[in-house]
Amino acid sequence: MAWKIKYGLISAILGAFLFLGEEIILRRTALTPYQLVVIMHVVGGLVLLVAAHNSWNEFRQMSAGNYVRIIAGSIILAAMVPFFLYSSIYLIGASKAVFLSRIELVFIIIFSTLFLKDAFRRVDYICFFLVFAGVILLTYDPAALSAFGSRGDWYVIGSSFLNAVGIVLLTPFFRTKNVLAITGLLMFLGGAILGIVLLLAGVSLLNSSAGWAVLLSLVLALAWLFFNKSIKEIGPSKTAMLYAAEAFITLFIAFFLQHYFPALGILFSKSILVLLAGGSLIVGGIVVMEYWRVKEGKKQISM
């Protein structure tokens, strides 16, 4: 039986490298977060679209309503979500923003079960609580609860809510269309629209360090691609639970980089015990989820 969780885990690994890569680039170059977002989405989307050129005919066969959904989804996922998230980081700091953003896992599960009828069994709820507890343990920031209610706080909650809305809105396309082509189109459209809005607002998108953003755009494109392929295989709610492992993987890599490559400026702010405890909860939830999925699959085959 195929190991269907592989796409979600690969996406989580790529997401960890993406997060740390963004932090390094923003620390060591003159790129602004908005320049980085626009360049990564436009270039990454173009790369995927070129790779999926044989599937462009699918776009010509879609109805006007589907075009509207794709445009709306691209604006939400590749423009509004990163804009509000990076704006919140500027207002309240990365630590608090990352912690509050984990609420998106709850939003995705609620919306996918309500609107997509995504199968979520009792054991999946147990797995969710394990994974969510691990994520909260790894990203907990006391300031997030002691002083909640600022504009930056609501920007994070808004970006998490919009991320869930966008995923649910576009899941039918991931399940029925070429994932490579759809992902490329979403990234390119969203990045281009955000870029146009920023240019009209007087924000410069030109930077001598743009080459670093181009390199990182390939990581972003692959992370999106594998995330969407995972949605096609196992649904958005379970994919979101798998992607939650990104929190553990990011801290694990940060611990390694701080000790062996301190010049990069990556800071590991958690204790080893917290890292191991949080990681164990996340891994435990994923293992149980996959065990029961395989077990039920074997029962269906035997019947």
What is the Cα–Cα distance from 65 to 63, expressed in whole angstroms?
5
87: tokens are 């704006």
When pLDDT is cut at 50, 70 and 90, the band that residue 207 belongs to is: confident
Instruction: Return the pLDDT at 187.
Output: 96
CA distance 137 to 105: 15
The torsion angles phi and psi of 270, rounded to 5 degrees, stand at: -110, 160
- 244/128 Cα distance (integer angstroms): 10
- State pLDDT tens for residues 19-65: 999 988 888 888 989 999 999 999 999 999 999 998 888 788 888 88
pLDDT computed for residue 282 by the predictor: 94
Residue 9's pLDDT is 94
**How many whole angstroms separate alpha carbon 217 and alpha carbon 36?**
9
pLDDT category, 166, cuts 50, 70, 90? very high
Which among 107, 220, 198, 227 is positioned nearest to 156, based on CA atoms?
107
pLDDT at 270: 74
Stretch 75-98: mean pLDDT? 89
Tokens of 147: 């002083």
> Position of tokens 């309240």?
92
pTM, rounded to two decimals: 0.91
- pLDDT for position 3: 64
Residue 1 confidence (pLDDT) above 50:
no
Question: Terminal CA-to-CA distance of the chain, rounded, Å?
Answer: 16
Q: Please compute the mean of the pLDDT values over residues 6-10 and round it to a whole number.
A: 94
Q: Given pLDDT bands bounded at 50, 70 and 90, which one contains residue 157?
A: very high
**pLDDT tops 90 at residue 221:** yes
Q: Given pLDDT bands bounded at 50, 70 and 90, which one contains residue 301?
A: low
Instruction: Give the pLDDT score at 174.
Output: 92
Contacts for 83 with CB less than 8 Å, ≥ 6 apart: 34, 37, 194
Q: Is the pLDDT of residue 297 over 80?
A: no
pLDDT(289) > 70: yes
**Residue 73 to residue 88: CA distance in whole angstroms:** 21
Between CA 271 and CA 66 the distance in angstroms is 48
Q: Compute the average pLDDT of residues 187-194.
A: 96
pLDDT score at 203: 87
